């Protein structure tokens, strides 16, 4: 099967990190197609950047010519997933929800360690909207921006571990979720340091996508994620793609 993995920002180095992590997690025979938007911010740390990314990601997904069986959106709770679900009919997974689902299968409570404090509220809101907040012990910020994690993921390790340790000790988290696509690949090292399971959202998203495809399941088009009704879209990049024919 082919899984389309979308980095929501324009950083080529983060796309490579995400692609490598996705490829390691994938089963034999699964091909990873890693892409990034053609426009937008090179790191997403605010609502404005996230909403801009949502349009850019939809545009990029629609422009992929190769066939794919599922989409994994590698932004931790970024906007736009529901829009992608409307314009394609293959499974579409977000790494925030994917990691939380997996965490709840292996522990009673989980905590998320993300980048900046300003991202905490957005992640809490996303988990609450998805019905995944009840068993979330905390969402903690390591104090580093997405760009800083992207530039030096190994160097970011200490800040991430420090917050994860507090989450385990003080918040009673039994599982840690890495709350940024740029943290992909750090799960094993943090598990070794702390002795608790650490869920990498990219890896979780790929594996769950494989499961859904293997079960023959696709996005429901009965109501919520039905294709948008045809409209005239003026001066918007998606207008060149939106004939609304689903894959």
Q: In what order do the strands lie in the sheet with 198-200?
A: 136-141, 110-114, 175-178, 198-200
pLDDT tens figures, 111-147: 999 999 999 999 999 999 999 999 999 999 999 999 9
Q: What pLDDT does 245 receive?
A: 42
pLDDT at 143: 95
Is the domain covering 96-200 a CATH 3.40.1160.10 domain?
no
The strand order across the sheet containing 92-94 reads: 31-35, 2-6, 70-73, 92-94
Residue 243 has pLDDT above 60, yes or no: no
Residue 231 to residue 146: CA distance in whole angstroms? 36
Residue ranges of the chain that CATH labels 3.40.50.12500 = 2-95+204-240, 96-200
Q: How far apart are CA 247 and CA 235, in angstroms?
A: 24
- In whole angstroms, give the CA distance from residue 90 to residue 84: 10
**Residue 4: φ, ψ to 5°:** -85, 120
Q: What is the CB neighbour count within 10 angstroms for residue 231?
A: 9
Average pLDDT over residues 153-179: 93
- For residue 14, name the pLDDT band (cuts at 50, 70, 90): very high
* Model confidence pLDDT, tens digit, residues 43-101: 999 999 999 999 999 999 999 999 999 999 999 999 999 999 999 999 999 999 999 99
Fold of 2-95+204-240: Rossmann fold (3.40.50)
- The predicted pLDDT at position 178 comes to 95
**Closest alpha carbon to 42 in 181, 164, 229, 234:** 181
Q: Which residue has the tokens 């921006």?
A: 145
Tokens of 184: 């992909």
Q: What is the pLDDT of residues 169-212, one digit of tens each?
A: 999 999 999 999 888 888 888 899 889 999 999 999 999 999 99
Query: What is the predicted pLDDT for the residue at 153?
Result: 82
Q: Does the pLDDT of residue 241 top 90, yes or no? A: no
pLDDT at position 231:
81
235: which DSSP letter? S
Residue spans of beta strands (DSSP E) within the chain: 2-6, 31-35, 70-73, 92-94, 110-114, 136-141, 175-178, 198-200
- Residue 230: pLDDT band (50, 70, 90) is confident
- Looking at residue 13, its pLDDT comes to 94
């Amino acid at each position: 099967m082919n899984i389309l993995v979308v980095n929501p920002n324009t950083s080529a180095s983060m796309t490579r990190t995400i692609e490598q992590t996705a490829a390691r997690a994938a089963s034999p025979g699964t091909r990873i197609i890693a892409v990034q938007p053609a426009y937008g911010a090179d790191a997403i740390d605010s609502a404005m950047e996230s909403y801009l990314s949502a349009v850019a990601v939809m545009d990029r997904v629609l422009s992929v010519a190769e066939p794919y069986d599922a989409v994994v959106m590698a932004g931790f709770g970024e906007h736009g997933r529901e829009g992608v679900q409307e314009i394609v009919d293959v499974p579409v997974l977000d790494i925030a929800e994917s990691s939380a689902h997996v965490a709840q299968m292996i522990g009673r409570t989980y905590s998320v360690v993300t980048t900046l404090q300003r991202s905490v509220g957005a992640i809490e809101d996303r988990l609450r909207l998805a019905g995944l907040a009840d068993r979330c012990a905390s969402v903690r910020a390591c104090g580093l921006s997405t760009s800083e994690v992207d530039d030096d993921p190994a160097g970011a390790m200490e800040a991430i571990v420090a917050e994860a340790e507090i989450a385990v000790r003080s918040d009673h988290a039994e599982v840690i979720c890495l709350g940024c696509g740029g943290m992909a690949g750090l799960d094993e090292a943090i598990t070794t340091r702390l002795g608790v399971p650490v869920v990498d959202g990219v890896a979780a998203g790929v594996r769950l996508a494989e499961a859904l495809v293997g079960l023959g399941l696709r996005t429901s088009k009965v109501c919520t994620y039905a294709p948008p009704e045809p409209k005239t879209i003026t001066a918007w990049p998606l207008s060149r793609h939106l004939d609304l024919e689903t894959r």
